[in-house]
Structure 1
C-alpha cells in the first residue's frame, strides 16, 4: 500500500525531516533547458499569485520510501523518484536566500536555512536534503555559501543559473518581487508525494508512474473528447469537417491551433495545458449543435493557420511578404496575433493593407529589439498578450503599434537605435539566422535589380575576429587615451558597422583590408560596395557605416509611437546576469563587459563603483590587476578582493595579476548571459570524402589558405589519427567550414558526442558545454579529467571555471610533434570513454 497526497515544498521541508538520495541514483543532471522551463513557470506563477494567492502549479510527483535507519526524532526518507526536481528546488532556495540576505536583510539567511534547508538542532541529520555522494560537496558549498559555491559542476551551474535569473528580475522599483518568487517556490509549487509503507515494492510504484509507450497527443485527446460529445452527428462531422482539417494540418500543427485558440482568451495558458484548457471550456457546451459549431470554428481557424505556416498560399502580395518574413524569423509566440489578424480580415473588420501594416510593426519591433541587445527579454509574454491587451478603439495596425510602444517592451526609438548600432555587439545577440535575416533584408532595401541568393551568403567581419599585425597597426592609429588595442577591437568587431554579407567568407577571413576591399568591390551586394569605397577600415569608418545603416533601418522599419519616450538605455541587467553566472575561480575585465553591453570600460567601472552588482569583485583590469580605485560598496569592508578571489580559486602571479587562463572573455560572457548561441550539432553535414571537391573538402582548402604549412600539416595529422582510431570528422555548413570530431553519431542510443571542433581560422575548441549533457561526460569527474589531460599540452591552460563553456587553444600548438602526439593520446582516451558500453 502507498499513501499519495498533493503537497507543497513548504510542507515537505518544514519540521525535522531528511530526504536522502540513494547512492545508486544518477548524479544531478538538470541543464539550462530544464532549469529555464522551471524558472519560467515560477516567474509566471509569482505574477499570477498577486491576484490569486491560492494558485498553484503542479510540477510532478515525488516517490519516497521510509529509510531503513528511520529514527524517532527525524523523519527520514529515501528519494526513489523526483530527486532532480527536489534538488533543483533546494538549490533555488539557496540562491534566493543569498540574494535576499545580500540585497534585503541578512536575517533571511538564518530564516530560510532553518525553515527549509537544515535541521539546526539535529547535527546528525543536519541536511534536510542529502544528495548522492558525487554531488554532496558541491551542494554543501551552495548550502554553506562558501567561496566554492557556484562552481563549474552541474549543481554549481544550477546555482549560478538561478542567481543570474534573480539578479535579472530584481526590480528596485518593486520591493516585493523576490519575496513573491520565494512564496511561489515554497507555497505554489505543487507535488504529489507518494509514500510507500515499509516493505512495499517502491520500484513497482516507480515503474507504474513512469510507464513508457506511445502516448496520445493533446490533439488526439481533444479529438476523442469532441467526438465523444457527438453520439449521433459524429460520422458526418468527421467526414465533412474534421477529416479536411487533418489534411490541412499535421498533428503538431493541430495541437498548436488548439493552443492558439486558448491564448486569445488567456495569454498565460501553457501549451502543455492545451487539452485540459479546451476541455474545461467545452464543458460549458451542452448540445451536439454547439459542439459541431466549435468544430466548424476550428476548421475556419485551421485554414487561416495553414496560410500562416505556408505564406505562399496567401493571395495578397504584401500580406504574403510580411507573413513570409515573420515565418523566417521563427518565433511561435507571434502566431496568436497573426491568427487574430487573418481572422479580423475574414470577418471584414480589417483590410489586407491594415494587417500587412500591423505585421510590419511586429517585424520592426523584432529587428529594433535585436539591434539594441534586447532580442529575448520578456518577448514571449509581451507577444502573447497583444490580442487581449491592445486597444479595441483603433484600427488594428495602429492598435498593435500602440501596444508595443508603451511600458517596458524595448521597442527602440530612433535615438536609441542610432546609439546602439554603433556600440551593441550585434553579432553576439539573437540567433544566427535572425542576424543574417536583418542583413539580408537591409540588402533588399537597396532595391537592387540583381537579386542575390541568400543561401550562398554568410556574415563576414570586415575587421576580423582574429586580427593580423596589419590590422593591429591600422586600429592602433585610432586608440584614445589609455585605451588598449584589445578594448578597441572588442568594442568594434561585433558591431553592425563591421559586418556584411558575402559568399567569400573563408577566402576573405583574416586578409588585409586591401585584399578585402578588392574582393568586396566585385560583389553584386550593395552593402559591400559601400565598404569597398573606403581607403582604410578603422573606428571612424566603422562608426560612419553604422550611422548610415541606422538611418536606413529607421527609414525601412518604423519605430514606436511618441508615447514610448526613450526608456531603453544601457542594458545593465544583461551585465548583472552575466556577472551572477560567473563561475567561482574565474574573472572578467571591464572591457569584456563593456563589449558585451555596448558600453565603455570607464562607464562599466563607474557603474560597478556605485551600484550593487553580483560578483563585482571578479571584474579586473585587462591585465588581471585590481583597479586602483576599486572599493567595496559596503564602506565597512577593507579586505583585499584578491584574497577573496584566491579563496575562490583564482591564481595570481608575483605582480598581483590574475591568470589570463581563468579570464572569461566577451563571447563566453554572452554564453553566461543566456544569449542564444549557434548550435553546432544542427549544422553537421557528412564525413570528408577524397572523391569530390565540394563542401566536405572546403575545410582542408580553408585550412591551407589561412594557416602556414606546419600548422595545416599538424592539424591534418590529428584528423588522420582521429579517423584511424574510429572517429569520424564531420563538417559544418557555415562560411567557415568547421570540423567536428565525432566519436558517436546521432543514431547511437546515447546520442551523438564530439570532444572538439576545429576552425580553419585557428582555434581548437573544446566543447565542455555540449559534453555536460552527453553521457558518460555528463559526469563532471570525466570532464575534469579531460581538462587536466589537455593541460598537459605545452602552451595550453584551460581553467576549471570553464568546464561549462567552450574554451580552446590555438592550432599553433599542433606544430610541436610532442604536443600533437599527446593530444592524440588524450583524444584516444576520450574516444574509448565515449564508445564503451554503458552499464
Structure 2
C-alpha cells in the first residue's frame, strides 16, 4: 500500500487549484455546534497569537485522499476525500465567510470613495475565491468552471448555494449542520475582526487568511489505489469510531455493489434518504429495525456487525470472490425494504398511522397509536409495530389497543419492569414475520393476560389507581389525562352493562389530547369564603377530577360546584353529565366518583 504523507499547512493544500470530492460511501456533513465551537476557539487563539507577534501552529489531524488524473489536462488531479471531509468543508465555509465580509468591506470602501482599498479588496476576493471556492480550468482547449470542493450528492446543492451568498432551503439534518456552521463562523469572524476603521478590519481579515495559509496544519495522505482506499477507510474508521453505524453500513453496501453502476447509484440514493435524519435518530431506527426482524436487541457497540450479518450476509463473500449480480440485486431489494421501515419509524415516533384512511378504522382508532407512542411514550413497542405493519389495518389497530391498555396498567400504574413485556413483544413480532397472513392477536392477549395476572393483578392495579393524583409541579399529568379520557370513551359501554370486550360506543367523539383539560370539580383555588377544610386535602385526588371539552376549558375555573353544574350538564362527556346529577359535592361524592372511575378501569384495562 503506497501512501504519500505530508505535514503541510491548509493554505498549501489549496495552493494549486485542487479538486476535492466526497465519495458515495462517505457520510454527509456532520459537525455539530460543539465541533464548530472548538474550531472557532482554535481560530481565535491563533488570531490572538498573531496579533501579539507570536504565531502558533494548530494541527487539525489527517486528511486522506485518493488521487485521479483529470483527462485532457497536464498534471492536474481530482482528490477523493476518504477521511477529513468535515475539516476540509469547514475550511471552505470559513473562507466563504471571509469573502462575504470582503464584499461588505468593498461596498463600504466604494461608498467612502476609498478606491485603493476597493481595488485591494477585489483582488483578495478573486484570489481566495479561486483557491477555495471555484476556478477556471482548460480541458481540451475549452475553459470550464471547476468547484474546489464537491460535497455528497445530498449536501452539495445546498452547500454550493450557501457559500455563494444565496439562501438555500434546509431540507435535512446535514443541511442544518452546514447552515449552523456557516452562521456561527460568520458571527465569530465579525467578532474577531471588529475595528473602528475600514483598514483595521481589512488587516484583521488578512490575519485570518494568514492563519489558514500558515498556522492551520494537517497531515495530508494520498494514495492512487481505489482498493487501498477502501481498506484505509475501514482501518481509519474501525467499528464506527468516527463514523456512525449508518455511514459504515452505507460504505459496506456500496462496496458490495461496486462495478454495478445502476444498482450502486440506486443504493446511494436509498442511503441518502435513510441518513436524512439526525445520526442519533438514524441509529435508533436501525436498532428498532434489527430488533423487529431478529427478536432481540443488538449488543452495545455491535449494531454494525450484527445488522450487516442479518440483512447483508453477502458481505462475507468479498474476500474470496467477486460479487455476482444476483447478490447485488438481493442487497438492493433488502435496502429498499429497510428504507420502507425507516419511513415507518419516522411516522411511528410522531404517533402517525401507517395505513391509508379507510373503514372500518376510524379517526378514534388511529388516535390510540398517537396516545400510546407520544403521550404515554411507549417507544419500546415500535419494533413490534414495524412487524405488525405487514398485517392488515384492522389487525394492526387491534394490537395497538391491546398494547395501549396493558402498558398503562402494567408499567404506568403498577410500575413493573419492562423486560417481560419486551420478551412477549419479541415473541410476537417473530410470529408475525414468520407468517403474517395467518397471524392473529389471540396469542398476544393470552401472554399479556398471564403477565397482568402475575405482575399487575387487580388488587395492585386498584390500589395504585386510587393514589393517582393531579400534580401541581414535579411531574407529568399526561397519564392522568389519558386515564380520564379513556374512561370517558368506554363509559357508555360500561353503563350498558360492560358486556363482552370493551368498546367505544361512539367513535365520532375524538377529543384533542392537548386541548382537553383536567378539571377540579371542587376548585383547585377556591375563594376563601367558599373554602371547605374537609375537601381541601382531597382536591387533587382522583375522585375530585374529570375532564372538560376543549370548547369548555376556559370556563368554570374556580367557581363552586353549584355554579359549575350547568357547565357539566351541557358537556358532551357522559361522565360530566352524571356528575351534574349530584346536588352537592362532598367527601362522599368524591369517594363515590373515585370508586366509579376505578371500577370502570378494572373492566377496561385488561387485554
TM-score (structure 1 length as normaliser): 0.34
Bigger RCO (CA 8 Å, 6+ sep):
2
State which structure, 1 or 2, has the greater radius of gyration over its C-alpha atoms: 2
TM-score (structure 2 length as normaliser): 0.45
